[in-house]
Amino acid sequence: MKQISSRFSIAVHILSLIAISSKDCTGDFIADSVNTNPVIIRRIIGMLKKAGLVEVRSGVGGASLLKDPDQISLLDVYRAVEVIEDGKLFNFHDEPNPACPVGRNIEAALRSEMMEAQSAMEQRLSQVTLDQLTVQFQ
């Protein structure tokens, strides 16, 4: 990968805006704050809906949170926007040669370390909630 998709940062932006804003959060209003196309916003809100984080008033429009901001962690958002394939941050090359001692054993050993590293990151994300961010937006 190059980088983890900006879907994640946009999703956090969207949720922060909904949490803070008193006015109706329509796709166009959010798109103006994020500075992107409204369709991008709708797509990401669709993912947040699927994850049970927000709801959208159909017809009239406007999104609202389904959880308190102190009950939404950055990990929840990260997982909602499906930023990585199959839940695995690290890719592993296909089918090393089983006839070689390294080829035969490296996958188990390295995958285990990859999971530890990934967990360390996700655990850190899980410790930060939306309200811990929004208090900084005076």
Binding residues for its own copies (CB under 8 A): 1-6, 8-10, 12-13, 16-17, 20-21, 32-36, 74, 83-85, 88-97, 100-106, 108-110, 113-114, 116-118, 120-125, 128, 133-134, 136-138
Of residues 115, 109, 64, 61, the one with CA closest to residue 86: 115
Q: Are 69 and 12 in contact (CB under 8 A)?
A: no
Q: Which of 64, 71, 91, 132 binds DNA (CB under 7 A)?
A: 91
Rounded least distance, CB 68 to its own copies, Å? 18
Q: Are 16 and 130 in contact (CB under 8 A)?
A: yes
Q: How far apart (Å, rounded) are the C-alpha atoms in residues 7 and 13?
A: 10
Contacts of 64 (CB under 8 A, 6+ apart): 18, 25, 54, 55, 57
Task: Show the site string, 1-30: x = touches DNA by CB under 7 A, - = not.
Answer: xx--xxx-----------------xxxx--
Rounded least distance, CB 110 to DNA, Å? 14
Q: How far apart (Å, rounded) are the C-alpha atoms in residues 101 and 63?
A: 55
Binding site for DNA (CB under 7 A): 1-2, 5-7, 25-28, 36-40, 42-43, 45-46, 49, 56, 58-63, 83, 85, 91, 93-94
